[in-house]
Amino acid sequence: LSIRRQRQMCIRDRFSMSLTFGVLSIQGDVLENILSVKAAIDALDIDATVTAVRTTDEISKVDGLVIPGGESTTIGQLSKFNGSLKILKEKIEEGMPVLGICAGMVLLSNNANDKVVGKIDQPLLNILDIKLERNSFGRQRESFESDISLDSIGIPKFNGVFIRAPSISDVGSDVEVLSKFNEKIIAVKKNNVIGVAFHPELTTDICLLYTSPSPRDVEE
Ligand code: GLN
C-alpha cells in the first residue's frame, strides 16, 4: 500500500468525527503551511479542516498542529506573551501531533544556540531534548535546496529547502534521528512530535504530512 493509502485508512478507521488541524499563526509562513495541509487533506480525502490558530482558545480546539518556520525568537516571545506557549506545551505533552518546521523545531527544543551570537534568552517549549544550533547553514543569502532522505519513515527522496536553517548535533535517548545532511541532523521524531530543519511547505511534495504523527499514533 502507498503511504497515502495507509494514512487514509488509518485516519478513516479511527475517526468518525471531523478533525481540525491548526497552523500556529503568530509569525512566519502561515499561509504556505495552511495551503500544504489543505493539499494533504484533499489528497487523503479525509474529513478534516485546517485553520490558523493564535489564541489559547483556538489552540485548545485543534487535533494536530504545524508550527511554521519564521523567527523562533519572535514566535516564542509573542506566544509567551499571549499565553499560548503554556497551552501548546500542555497539549503536546498530552499527545497532540505536531510538526515543527525550522523555527518551529527551534521552539520545540530545550537547547538553542545561534551559530554566530551563541545562546540568547528565548522562550522554548522544552519538548525535544536536542542540542540545536540556529542558523547552522549560514544566513539568508546562503539558503539552498538539496535532495535529502527520510528512509525510516518511508521517504527515500525529498526536496529539502533550507532557509537560515538550524541543525542538531546531538539528541537525547528518547529522540529518533530521521535525517542527516552533511553529518548534521536535520529531522527528528519523538512520539507525537516531528521536527524538521527544512521547509516541506515550500515544495509541492506533501508526503511528509502523510507521515507526520497522526492522532492514531498517539493512542496506540
Ligand atoms: N533562523 C530562524 C530561527 O532560528 C529559523 C529560520 C526559518 O524558520 N526558516 O528562528
**106: Cβ below 6 Å to ligand 1?**
yes
What's the average model confidence in pLDDT over 180-185? 97
CB of 91 within 6 A of ligand 1: the answer is no
Mean pLDDT, rounded, for 34-58 = 94
Closest listed residue to residue 177, CA positions, set 197, 163, 160, 161: 197
User: Is the separation of the CB atoms in 213 and 97 below 8 Å?
Assistant: yes
Residue 167 has pLDDT above 90, yes or no: yes
Distance from residue 5's CA to the centre of ligand 1 (Å): 33
Residue to mutate, 111, 135, 136, ligand 1, most ligand atoms under 8 Å from C-beta: 135
Q: Is 195 helix (H, G, I), strand (E, B) or coil?
A: strand
Q: Is the CB of 102 under 6 A from ligand 1?
A: yes
Looking at residues 164-181, what average pLDDT do you find? 97
- pLDDT-derived band at 77 (thresholds 50, 70, 90) equals very high
* CB neighbours of residue 32 within 10 Å: 17
Which residues form the catalytic set? 102, 199, 201
Q: Whose CA is nearest to atom 8 of ligand 1?
A: 69
Q: Which three cell numbers stand for residue 4?
A: 497515502
Distance from the CA of 123 to the center of ligand 1, in angstroms? 14
pLDDT digits (tens, 9 = 90+) for 139-161: 999 999 999 999 988 889 999 99
